């Protein structure tokens, strides 16, 4: 039996240190409107007693980035076994000019931003939100047919990575 087709991203949630600090960053700087906020003293999925606020910022495609303020004013801790550049959330804008404009807007707000990185199929900037979440703002620059070619090669490339990884682990 085939699984149901996943339609798209509904939301991605991350913890935050302070709800208002996070709202300012996402709404006032990045321009994502705050569209929902709910408070509860109990976690619906587990029944755990834990006061929190859960709030959502809407992206242009109708998906959301959401946050939990757990009321403790603690920064989320990074994964101890993962480099800081690995875990990130990427959002897309319409053009490289918009990537650059967002970079300038962020810098004007005191946010440290990488120069535009050319990945050959996208161009991106990277920065951290107030909670330590690494974000990427990107625009597609791929040639026609690029994604179809990648799809045709993906399984073979993953298999080659598995062989390379086995050698790396054997030599570690």
CA 118 → CA 114, 115, 124, 142, 156, distances in Å?
Answer: 11, 9, 7, 11, 24
Residue 55 tokens read as 């709030």
Element housing 64 (H / E): strand 64-69
pLDDT of residue 168: 96
Tens digits of residue pLDDT in 31-58: 999 999 999 999 999 999 999 999 999 9
At residue 165, does pLDDT exceed 90? Answer: yes
At residue 172, does pLDDT exceed 90? Answer: no
Q: Give me the chain's average pLDDT, please.
A: 96
- d(Cα 172, Cα 163) in Å, to the nearest integer? 14
Instruction: Specify the 3-state DSSP secondary structure of 65.
Output: strand
At residue 26, does pLDDT exceed 90? Answer: yes
Query: Positive or negative, the Cα torsion across 92, 93, 99, 102?
Result: negative
Query: pTM for the complete prediction?
Result: 0.91
Asked if 117 contacts 123 with a C-beta cutoff of 8 angstroms, the reply is yes
Split at pLDDT 50, 70, 90, the class of 71 is very high
- Placement of tokens 């996943």 in the chain: 6
pLDDT of residue 1: 93
Mean pLDDT, rounded, for 61-65 = 97
CA 49 → CA 38, 93, 129, distances in Å?
Answer: 15, 39, 28
With a pLDDT cut of 70, the percent of the chain lying above it is: 100
């Amino acid at each position: 039996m085939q699984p149901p087709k996943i339609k798209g991203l509904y939301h991605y949630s991350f913890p935050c240190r302070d709800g208002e600090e996070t709202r300012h960053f996402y709404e006032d700087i990045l321009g994502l409107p705050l569209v929902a906020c709910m408070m509860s003293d109990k976690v619906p999925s587990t029944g755990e007693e834990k006061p929190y606020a859960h709030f959502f910022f809407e992206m242009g495609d109708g998906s959301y980035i959401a946050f939990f303020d757990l009321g403790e004013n603690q920064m989320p801790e990074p994964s101890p076994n993962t480099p800081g550049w690995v875990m990130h959330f990427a959002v897309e804008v319409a053009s490289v000019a918009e990537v650059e404009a967002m970079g300038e807007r962020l810098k004007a707000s005191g946010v440290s931003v990488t120069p535009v990185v050319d990945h050959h199929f996208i161009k991106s900037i990277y920065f951290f939100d107030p909670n330590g979440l690494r974000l990427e703002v990107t625009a597609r620059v791929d040639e026609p047919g690029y994604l179809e070619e990648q799809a045709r090669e993906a399984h073979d490339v993953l298999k080659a990575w598995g062989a390379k990884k086995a050698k790396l682990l054997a030599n570690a």
